[in-house]
């Protein structure tokens, strides 16, 4: 099980927008510089975030901005925007467990509900954390660095 780096890239991107957009125009180049990734990756994630209504993209003066307040954007919002695993679930079973094996014929019944519960717990935790929460932690770190 692994959630792709698009998830953390999406959170990082939103945090940069929250931090910089009131003082400067944020472009994909600015975001790529902060993220340390190829601008193509940034644009792909931005496309997912825009399609999900989390950011606005303008070629004009405003550049890229948040579409909602940071306290209204949860990690779950980012997860569902950038990860394509949500519709089929986080956990994937091997295709052909042996129906003649006592384990193979019962493994789905034993695990399916538990794995669904694990995913729901993770998603509920994501729904409780916002971009504003992430930024509060980042600001604490920045303040502690000041001599």
3-state SS of the chain is: CCCCHHHHHHHHHHHHHHHHCCCCCECHHHHHHHHCCCHHHHHHHHHHHHHCCCEEECCCCCEEEECCCHHHCEHHHHHHHHCCCCCCCCCCCCCCCCCCCCCCCCHHHHHHHHHHHHHHHHHHHHHCCEHHHHHHHHHHHHHHHCC
Instruction: Give residue 123's Cα distance to chain centre.
Output: 11
Q: What is the mean pLDDT of residues 5-9?
A: 94
Q: Is the pLDDT of residue 86 over 60?
A: no
67 occurs within a structural domain? yes
For residue 41, is it within any domain?
yes
Total tally of structural domains belonging to the chain: 1
130 domain-assigned: yes
Look at residue 147 and tell me if it is in a domain. Answer: no
Q: How confident is the model at residue 82 (pLDDT cuts 50, 70, 90)?
A: very high
> How far, in Å, CA of 6 to CA of 21, rounded?
21
What is the C-alpha to C-alpha distance for residues 50 and 65, in angstroms, rounded to an integer?
10
Q: What is the mean pLDDT of residues 77-96?
A: 81
Q: At 35, which CATH number?
A: 1.10.10.10
- Whether the predicted pLDDT of 87 surpasses 70: no
Domain enclosing residue 85, as ranges? 5-142
Quick one: pLDDT at residue 121? 95
- pLDDT value of position 1: 53
Residue 118 or 87, more confident: 118
pLDDT average, residue stretch 78-90: 80
Q: How far apart are CA 80 and CA 77, in angstroms?
A: 5
Mean pLDDT of 129-147: 92
Q: Specify if 123 maps to a domain.
A: yes
Q: How confident is the model at residue 145 (pLDDT cuts 50, 70, 90)?
A: confident
């Amino acid at each position: 099980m692994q959630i792709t780096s698009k998830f953390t890239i999406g959170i990082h991107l939103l945090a940069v927008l929250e931090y910089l957009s009131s003082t400067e125009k944020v472009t994909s180049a600015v975001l790529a510089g902060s993220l340390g990734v190829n601008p193509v990756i940034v644009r792909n994630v931005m496309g997912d975030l825009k399609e999900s209504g989390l950011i606005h993209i303008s070629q004009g003066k405003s550049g890229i901005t948040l579409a909602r307040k940071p306290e209204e954007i949860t990690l779950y919002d980012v997860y569902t925007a950038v990860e394509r695993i949500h519709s089929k679930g986080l956990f994937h079973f091997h295709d052909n467990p042996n129906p003649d094996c006592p384990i193979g014929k019962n493994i789905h019944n034993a695990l399916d509900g538990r794995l669904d519960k694990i995913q729901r717990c993770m998603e509920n935790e994501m729904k409780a954390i916002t971009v504003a929460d992430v930024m509060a932690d980042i600001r604490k770190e920045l303040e502690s660095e000041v001599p």
